[in-house]
Structure 1
Amino acid sequence: MKPLLAAGLAATLLLGACSGAEAPPAPQPIPVRTVTIASQSVPNVIELPGRVEPVRVAEVRARVTGIVQQRLYEEGTDVRAGQPLFRIDPRELRASYAQTQAALQRAQATAANARAVVERYRPLVEENAISGQEYDAALAASREAQAIVAQIRAQLEASSLQLGYTTVRAPIAGRVGRAQVTEGALVSQAEGTLMTRIEQISPVYVSFAQAASEVIRIRRAIAAGEIDLDANDRVEVRLTFSDGTEYPVAGFIDFLAYSVDQETGTVELRAEFPNPQNLLLPGEFVRARIFAGQVQNGLTVPQRAVSLTEDGGTVFVVDGEGQAAVRPVKLGAMVDGRWIVESGLKVGDRVIVTNLQKIRPGAPVKVVQPQSRPQTGGAANAQQPARSGGAR
């Protein structure tokens, strides 16, 4: 009996050991879709912070000395060129104008009398009734009287200008600011008292600075044929507000400095933007995206394939063993829903674009309906007709 029990126990232990040594089932491959990286023409996008500036600024200053009687405009509104803004007390200048006008009339009477004397002396000197010296003296007195008339007439014109300056008018059209003086304030011509400012904000300028090294890199790439410029020789710029919304109207670079700031090592650039609805306000900080031509042999990936990190981003690619592998990438700008990849990927890599939440590094994947070529019409070609020029 004991030998039988021992044999049964041994058989049971042997079966248990065999069942515990069985390998777990292999994980099932996760179905994914991929895009195969291919080189293409992509926009050369440079992102820089910028500041909005008015195209013209006029400081309205006093051109005569006097007391401000009235403000004739509403602060913060649009004014036209020549529109009255302030009225300065004109009484003192009006009295000066009247005095000069009276002096002109007296000088004109004196000149008329001197001309009459010359006309009387002319036949007498021909008949030798008077000496030539007397005639010459009368002629000189007449010319002197005419000169005095011309001098006082100029003084009268200057007095008229001064009297006209008592109505302070807008030198340019634009948005007028708040008044710097109030009624009853004394303004001075000598000091040029500031009364208000006018800014033209349609269109507007956006100024930004680019590193000199980046300007050199772009010029070298253009010379090497790595960046193609548009035939129109214009560089498009698009703006993003601080809240992330995009300004709907594109602008173009209209100024590039040919000197480097010694303190910052940057080159100043400026773009002009239409501003029909006054959405861009002077002094506002915006984010500018400069489209400086097209880069040949560029790489892009769909936005949904990229997981953003502090150092850039990561994507999942299918390795040679059919497994998911993490690949860190350096990202450029995003254009039409696709990230421009500066480094980290090469032509032929298969980037996973679906089921990213389910896969982990090393997990087997099964490519379902792979897309052999990325759709190049979005990132590269959609912006191409509008791109032009380069930072030169």
Structure 2
Amino acid sequence: MSFKPALTTLLTGIALATLMLSGCEQQPDQQAQDTPKVGVVTLQAQPFAQTSELPGRTNAYRIAEVRPQVNGIILKRLFTEGSEVKAGQQLYQIDPATYEATYKSALAALKSSKALAARYKELVADQAVSRQEYDQAQADYLRDQAALDSAQINLRYTKVLAPISGRIGRSSVTEGALVNNGQAEAMAVIQQLDPIYVDVTQSTKDILRLRKELASGHLQKAGAHGAKVKLKLEDGSLYAHEGTLEFSEVSVDASTGSVVLRAVFPNPENELLPGMFVHAQLVEGLQEQAILAPQQGVTRDTSGAPVALVVNADNVVERRLLEAERTVGDRWLINSGLQAGDRLITEGLQFVHPGDKVEAVPAGNVKQPVAAAPAQNSR
């Protein structure tokens, strides 16, 4: 009766010992299996041209409103609406009849007064006429000369000429219409479109930030290339020609808190028309040691601040709080929080936490950087 309990106890002890030995043998393998793998990207510093993409509109380089300088009836319109015209080209013909008559009358009066003045010049030398009569003849001659010049100018103004070269719009008058010198409505408008202006707006906040970055040395001045501007059209395509920054407005628009910047672009194909909405890409400065982190490795905490997880030299996960104001394609431009050589986790983020021991392998979801190369950003 006592033999069975003793046998049972012995078998139980053997089984427990076997399980303990088995557990000890499997512990290292189990620990190895518990160490998670994460995909990392080793960050590199690289030169970076920092740009801003600003909204704006196109404006004609020059605008001339064609108005009559004499009164009269329009006899002819001598241009095609929407066509290119040259400076000095005749656009309209105003009835010149009354102005021709005035000119001929003034010419006759001038001939008479000129002859009288010449005769009095000889007579006054012989004291045949008084000096006062001679002076009056000279004054009449000069007055008639001025009258002839005025009549000649008015006659010339009956031919309405283009003041500038450019594209002319629709005509507001037709043959037979009465026009008046000084009228409010323009007969037509000419716009020079090549080159063409692009006026963009930049907030004073961005201007102050840029000045601080330049003053602190975080950015370097872009030099001569900083005045170059690229243009993105409404359909997202890039404009073929590069423009030049002309000037910035000296005052701030109180309603928008922004400053107007004006750039000029060549427009030989007349692809840009006044009033088009565009985006201008301006080079703000150069950052020699920029850190561009893949977006897959940057997340947000509960407060909305950007954060990242990196693997340190001991293969332990660390949490970094970042400053990142803008994107550059599929990357973030990092102002602080990451540096060259950091191993940024882009794969397996959901399985690890700060302080975890991990095995770092090259990430497969992000292209590994191979060399430093200049880049441009969008905002």
Change in 2 beyond 3 A, CA 1:88/1:217? same
Match of 1:107 among 102, 113, 117: 113
- 2:171 is matched with 179
Q: Find the aligned partners of 1:201 and 1:99 in 2 and give their Cα distance.
A: 44
Letter in 2 for 1:200: Q
Change in 2 beyond 3 A, CA 1:372/1:105? closer
Which stretch of structure 1 is more off in the superposition, 165-174 or 142-151?
142-151
- 2:65 is matched with 59
**1:328 positional shift:** 9.0
Which stretch of structure 1 is more off in the superposition, 341-350 or 105-114?
341-350
**5+ long unaligned stretches in structure 1:** 1-17, 123-133, 384-392
Q: Find the aligned partners of 2:344 and 2:293 in 1 and give their Cα distance.
A: 8
Match of 1:254 among 229, 241, 246: 246
Letter in 2 for 1:176: I
Letter in 2 for 1:340: L
Q: Find the aligned partners of 1:87 and 1:282 in 2 and give their Cα distance.
A: 29
Letter in 1 for 2:343: R
- How is 1:1-392 mapped onto 2 (pairs within 5 angstroms)? 34-118=40-124, 122=126, 135=128, 137=130, 139-191=131-183, 193-232=185-224, 234-301=226-293, 319=311, 330=324, 332-334=326-328, 340-342=333-335, 345-351=338-344, 361-362=350-351, 367-368=361-362, 375-379=371-375
Q: Secondary structure at the match of 1:299?
A: strand
**1:316 positional shift:** 8.3
- 1:131 is matched with none
**Conservation of the 8 A alpha-carbon contact between 1:39 and 1:297:** yes
**Aligned residue-pair number:** 342
**1:378 positional shift:** 3.7
Letter in 2 for 1:140: Q
**1:313 positional shift:** 12
Q: Find the aligned partners of 1:365 and 1:72 in 2 and give their Cα distance.
A: 82
Q: CA RMSD in A?
A: 4.0
Q: Find the aligned partners of 2:290 and 2:310 in 1 and give their Cα distance.
A: 21
- 2:3 is matched with none
Q: Secondary structure at the match of 1:205?
A: strand
Letter in 1 for 2:57: R
Q: Secondary structure at the match of 2:212?
A: helix
Deviations 1:47-91 (A, max 9, x none): 210111112111111111111111111111221111111111111
**Conservation of the 8 A alpha-carbon contact between 1:317 and 1:326:** yes
Q: Find the aligned partners of 2:58 and 2:73 in 1 and give their Cα distance.
A: 36
Deviations 1:226-277 (A, max 9, x none): 2211443742221111111111222221101232222222222111112122
Q: Secondary structure at the match of 1:144?
A: helix
**1:166 positional shift:** 0.9
Which stretch of structure 1 is more off in the superposition, 250-259 or 158-167?
250-259
Q: Find the aligned partners of 1:324 and 1:220 in 2 and give their Cα distance.
A: 30
Letter in 1 for 2:95: D
Identity of aligned residues (%): 35
Q: Find the aligned partners of 1:149 and 1:55 in 2 and give their Cα distance.
A: 46
**1:314 positional shift:** 8.7
Letter in 2 for 1:170: A
